[in-house]
């Protein structure tokens, strides 16, 4: 199985989480690569069995949260026939960020099989838990 992790990062937290996710996938026998939304590896995307998309949570502290750069995320190529998962990084609250991210990726044609919010002060632990949950629902 091959996976690609496409992420949108502002301060580096989502990029770090994407790296931890790739490391966990590789440790579990999954070929994986991370790339930012601004530099998607289209060949790896075409070859991926699993597409993981991550974003930081944008918005006010207690309301109005959403995936950052949703417009850029909605420009990811069509993902028909692919399984996908989503994650977001956050400081205080996620609101409906995951649901909105799932909708963006579903609209690109993917079957979203999971998602998780990862707190910015627990990136490594959260990323490991995300991969464990994810590998429980996809065939490796």
Question: Mind giving me the DSSP string for 69-127?
Answer: THHHHTTSPP-TT-EEEEEEEESS--TTHHHHHHHHHHHTT-EEEEEEEEEGGGHHHHH
What is the 3 state secondary structure string of 6-56? EEECCCCHHHHHHHHHHHHHHHCCCEEEEEEHHHCCHHHHHHCCEEEEEEE
- Please state the pTM of the whole predicted model: 0.92
For residue 59, is pLDDT > 70? Answer: no
DSSP-derived pairing of the beta strands 66-67 and 50-58: antiparallel
Write down the pLDDT at residue 93.
81
For residue 64, is pLDDT > 80? Answer: no
Write down the pLDDT at residue 56.
87
pLDDT-derived band at 65, boundaries 50, 70, 90: low
For residue 11, is pLDDT > 90? Answer: yes
Write down the pLDDT at residue 68.
67
Write down the pLDDT at residue 43.
96
Map out the domains of the chain with their CATH numbers. 2-135 (3.40.50.360)
For residue 37, is pLDDT > 90? Answer: yes
Classify 129 as helix, strand or coil.
Answer: helix
Distances (CA, A) of 135 to 57, 81, 103, 108, 139: 24, 18, 21, 22, 7
pLDDT of 70-121, one tens digit each? Answer: 667 778 888 999 999 999 999 888 888 899 999 999 999 999 999 999 999 9
């Amino acid at each position: 199985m091959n996976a690609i992790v496409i992420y949108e990062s502002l301060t580096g937290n989502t990029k770090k989480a994407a790296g931890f996710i790739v490391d966990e996938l590789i440790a579990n026998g999954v070929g994986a690569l991370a790339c930012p939304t601004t530099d998607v590896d289209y060949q790896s995307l075409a070859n991926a069995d699993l597409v993981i998309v991550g974003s930081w949570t944008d918005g006010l502290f207690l309301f109005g949260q959403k995936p950052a750069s949703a417009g850029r995320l909605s420009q990811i190529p069509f993902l028909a026939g692919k399984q996908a998962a989503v994650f977001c990084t956050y400081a205080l609250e996620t609101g409906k960020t995951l649901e909105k991210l799932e909708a963006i990726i579903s609209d690109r044609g993917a079957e979203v099989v999971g998602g998780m919010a990862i707190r910015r002060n627990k990136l490594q632990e959260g990323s490991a838990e995300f991969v464990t949950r994810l590998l429980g629902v996809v065939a490796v």
